[in-house]
Structure 1
Amino acid sequence: MDWIKETLSDTPEIALFLCLALGFALGKVRVWKISLGGVAGTLVVAILMGMFADIELDDQVKQIAFALFIFTLGYVSGPTFFASLNRKSLKYATFTGIEVVSVLLITAAAVLIMNLDVGTAAGLLAGGATESAAVGTATDAIGRLDLPADQIETLQNNVGTAYSISYICGLITIVLLSSQFFPLIMRIDLREEAAKLWAKLGGAADEDTAAPAAPAVVGREYRITAAAGRTVAEVQADLGDATVEEVQRDGEKVAFAPDLQLAHGDRVLVVGRREALVGSANRIGEEIALDESMAMSLDLADVVVTRKGYQATTLGEIRRDFADERQGVYLQKVTRGDHELPVKPSTLIQHGDTVRLSGSGRDLSRVIPMVGFRLDPAVRFDMVFIAIGVVLGFLIGMLVWTVGTIPLTLGTGGGCLLAGLLFGWIRSKRPTFGQYDSGAADVIKTLGLAVFICAVGLSSGPQAVELVKEFGWGLPIAGVAMTAIPAFLSFFVAWKFMKLPAPLVLGSVTGQQCSTPGVTAVQAAAGNATPLMAYTIVYAFSNVVLPLLGPIVVAMAHAIG
């Protein structure tokens, strides 16, 4: 046992990766519908390991990890955040406003009632709001207080311990409220309501947009009989969402053109939705075995939406506006930030969203410029652009404004967040540079936050027992209140005042806390992805605003105390 302690103390890098391994394993353990997730699991393991052995990670490691996380967070959220500043989406900022005001008032009350120190107050807010990024911004702000070094260290350690306690309470609370109790209060069957909304989003009343937007695309070969004498364009118009891609006559390929007149015995390759081709032999001719010489591969393209008219446009509107031009191109999925949206006609498409299109190279090259910029699959990470953004974030974080005796600064966290927002927005406007693949961004974001949280947990371990003894059940109760009160307020605003459909009500409530476990539980209860329609918009606002509460709560608690 002594050897293990010495090894962990002498080689903290081993302790770091051991915490990551055990923490992410713990995060996968599911009790009913609730799991901690990798980051929270890492914090719990790190605190326990910190209580077992004296382990300290270098502060620069912690700072670099958090800077990469928070910059990436802003970079990914930037396009969605700015695109949501429109008439259709801005109303959802109400829920972020409720969250911000509520958690600050509850924290102030907890400081006065329980006599919380600055670090515990900041950790309580970050955990109750289930916003891990606020841990970093608060820790950085505490480091700039005019206090002795040992006192600052104690306060910073208290942030992690209080966060771990209130986060677990907040996570359980938001999952139970959003997926179980709120549907009971509304007296609804959430699955039934979600199915109704899904059908409504499908535009059943509008035949032009009723077809699925992400079909199973198939290819069929026909020998022309019924369509003899008709042009390619006429056949395509008759088929609907399908295209003639190749024509062979007497064993030779014929130069393709929409006005090409088909002759009896021609062989044609038709590509389209499976349901569009069912029964099409009666209109074209006999379906025959696909000849290898006619076989073709459909290309896939991820395209960033940059068209100016797509600030807040539904898929159905886009399909109607480009009914002819989009022929032969099929929408596979829509991604906003880290989340995949339901591909339905009423889905709102915003500037900066990424759509995956499939079709022949000829059709894609025609349609992609109408939509936006095609991502280069060979580029995962534009190091030049990203590194310059992080440097700017550090510089912004060095700016300090003194109000009375309290230094106010965004710190590394706030500076890198704002730089990320700015660079992400620039990237959405000029997508020819600055590419940051979503997979790479997710790895950087998760690893950066996990390493930072691990460092916080290891240093917090020795004080965890004392902090729990000092405040007892007060911290868990305050953590539940920090989550439940703003959730109830937003629930009633969305349900009674905004009259939103039930899935959007619950998506908004989970979005205001950036609670991925919460919206996952709601989706499971709903049976489809309709809650994401509101979640992604509110998430974009809260993901930007909540991390900035770190310096604010530190200044507030310091002033009250």
Structure 2
Amino acid sequence: MGVLRDHPELALFLCLSAGYLLGKLRVGPITLGGICGTLIVALLLGAWTKVVISDDVKTIFFAIFIFSLGYLAGPQFFANLNRKSLRFFTLCLIEVVCVVGIALGLAKAFDLDVGTAAGILAGAATESAVVGTATEAIGKLSDLTQQQITEYQGHVATAYTVCYLFGLVTIVIYTSQIMPMLLRINLRDASRALWEKMRGSGGGLEPDEREALPGMVGRTFLVTLADGATVSQVERQNGSRVTVEAVKRGTKVLTPPPPDFELTLSDLVLMVGRRSNIIDAGRHVGPETPAIPGLDTPLATTQVSLTDKAAAGKSIDTLTKEHPEFSSGGVYVTDVLRNEQHLPATPETVVQRGDVLTLVGARSGLGKLAAKVGATVKNDATDFIYLGLGIVCGSLIGQISVKFGGVPMSLGTGGGCLVSGLLFGWFRSRTQTFGAFPPQAATTLKDMGLAIFIACTGLVSGPQAWPLLKEYGALLPFAGIAMVLVPATISLIVGRKLLNIEKPLLIGAIAGQQCSTPAITSVTQVAQSSVPMLGYTITYTLSNFLLPLTGPLLVGVLGA
């Protein structure tokens, strides 16, 4: 115990390792998760050892976490600020109004201190970021002594832990098991039907899966039917949707052959394109042959951010017709990435500015086309200039204080970094040629920043945990359940009766308004489909911005 007290870094990383181990324990569809597990271990270890952690450590890592969170959510957040997504925004407003209203009501009815009320809000809403924004806001209340500030900040962590456990179990069971029964649907069948209606095809692939029949293929054919036709005639015969990449005549190989090159009997032709188009083209050329040594030609792959304003809002088919470089250079769009979501690269897919297109084709053709429609994506290493500047701007935004009805309100470092993260992430997505912050790196910093902040909070708050549990033991579980059921039920009714949201999307959206990853995981397992994720991503992004701001709001109102 003395070693941990003298070396707080040991206690800190012990909380992380033991907490994430505890978070892996599963009871049915329920897992605590690493963050809640870390907080439980930190509270117990803090009560036993009374380890002292500098507040600066918490502030720094929380700033890293909240900026990374905003950076990842920024592109999708601003993309969802449109009329089509307005109905999902309504669900997030229901969540915010309900949890703040219930927290204020409980605080008045049971004479709760500001820390306990904020912890109830954070835990019942299962939003860990509220712990940070509320804790920071409590530290800025001018009419509290330092002892009271420490005590109330400890209450935030304890109340959060208890309410989180009950809130987590409630939202998982409610969305995955009870809501389908209330809506009178089989979630699996409804999700499949909606997916077929929206896409006309099956679901997506898991991260470790690959297509057994990839859309983009190369095939070799023996010329029997196309005798006397030129290369350009063969390509035009299929609407320029295939390209002749190489021709082998005897021992001579032409790569690529000129457009006016005339094919003769027994030539071997390598054609590249989408499978359906290649099959059609083969009917006009001759029988398919096995791969021919020496006839294969390498194709390059590059990711291009679409920056051409004239291309925005057009289908891939229209784009390829307007840019002859696609057909002449043998370049194909094989994937469309929009806000970290992969879209099918079909001819009917409409692209938007900021989309990342994966282009495959000859290297010379790729370079010319990429320069016309956008810019090559640079996302191989973190741009620490951009990252550091973003956190600096966020910290400065957080220092701005505005009075509402005599109550001083400020975003604090957490809220300010969240706003700057959203803006910096969105601005980066416009071109993707600067400010690189790879998703894997951003996710690692986000998770590590929050985990260390939670561990620091738990270690400091441990001594205040038991007295609070003795005083409000029965209230905390009740609050955790009520603050999930009330907004979720209202959203369920409003979503169906007034907003007419499709049932699988509505269930996913309610999990998203609660920012509950375990809930959407359970929902998609029941649905055996990723369709509910389409509703989840919209509300999750919006709630990730709105809910952290409820911490300073609640503290400001109660503190006044």
Q: Is TM (by shorter chain) over 0.5?
A: yes
Contact persistence 2:220–2:268 (CA under 8 A) = yes
Q: How far is the alpha carbon of 1:263 from its aligned partner?
A: 3.2
Q: Which residue among 25, 33, 39 is the counterpart of 2:35? A: 39
Kept after mapping to 2: 8 A contact 1:80/1:350: no
* 3-state SS of paired residue (2:294): helix
Deviations 1:279-327 (A, max 9, x none): 864432233332343333444434445454687x5xxx62342354566
Q: Is the 8 A contact 1:144 1:407 kept in 2?
A: no
**SS of residue matched to 1:20:** helix
Aligned to 2:180: 183
**Counterpart residue identity of residue 52, structure 2:** E
Partner of 1:161: 158
Q: Map Cα deviations across residues 477-505 of structure 1 (whole Å, 9 max, x no partner).
A: 11111112111111122222222222211
Alignment map for 1:148-297 (pairs within 5 Å): 148-203=145-200, 215-236=214-235, 242-250=242-250, 251-256=252-257, 260-274=261-275, 276-277=277-278, 281-297=282-298
Distance 1:358 1:155, change over 3 A: farther
Secondary structure, in 3 states, of the residue corresponding to 1:294? coil
Shift in CA distance, 480/341, structure 1 to aligned 2, threshold 3 Å: farther
Report the CA distance shift for 1:474/1:231 in structure 2 as closer, same or farther (over 3 A). Answer: farther
TM-score, length-scaled by structure 1: 0.89
Counterpart AA for 2:6: D
1: CA distance, partners of 2:259 / 2:11 = 66
1:79–1:351 CA contact under 8 A, matched in 2: no
Runs (5+) with no aligned partner, structure 1 = 205-211
Shift of the 234–528 alpha-carbon distance from structure 1 to 2, 3 Å rule, reads farther
Shift of 1:507: 1.8
* Distance in 1 separating the partners of 2:554 and 2:352: 33
1:68 and 2:70 matched: no
Q: Distance in 2 between matches of 1:420 and 1:505?
A: 28
What is the aligned partner in structure 1 of residue 496 from structure 2? 495
Distance 2:259 2:24 in 1: 54
How far, CA to CA, are the matches of 2:88 and 2:406 in structure 1? 36
Matches within 5 A, 1:76-475: 76-146=72-142, 147-203=144-200, 215-236=214-235, 242-250=242-250, 251-256=252-257, 260-274=261-275, 276-277=277-278, 281-308=282-309, 318-324=315-321, 325=323, 328-332=331-335, 334=337, 336-337=339-340, 351-362=353-364, 364-365=366-367, 368=370, 372-377=374-379, 379-403=380-404, 406-475=407-476
Please identify, of 451-460 and 498-507, the stretch whose mean Cα deviation from structure 2 is larger: 498-507
* CA-CA distance at 1:275 after TM superposition: 5.4
Provide closer, same or farther for how the CA distance between residues 254 and 305 of structure 1 changes in structure 2, counting only shifts above 3 A: closer
Q: Which segment is superposed worse, 98-107 or 296-305?
A: 296-305
Q: CA deviation at 1:534?
A: 1.9
Change (3 A) 1:538 1:403: closer
* Aligned residues of 1:342 and 1:529 also touching (Cα < 8 A): no
Distance 1:539 1:349 in 2: 23
* Aligned amino acid, residue 159 of structure 1: V
Q: Percent identity?
A: 44
- CA positional deviation for 1:87: 2.3
Deviations 1:405-449 (A, max 9, x none): 643211110111111122222222343211111111111111111
**3-state DSSP of counterpart to 2:45:** helix
- Residues in 2 aligned to 1:533 and 1:134: alpha-carbon distance in whole angstroms: 25
Structure 1 residue 242 displacement after superposition: 4.6
- Quote the RMSD (CA, aligned, Å): 2.8
Structure 2 alignment gaps of length 5 or more: 202-210
Instruction: Normalising by structure 2, report the TM-score.
Output: 0.89
SS at match of 2:265: coil
2:130 is matched by which residue type in structure 1?
Answer: A
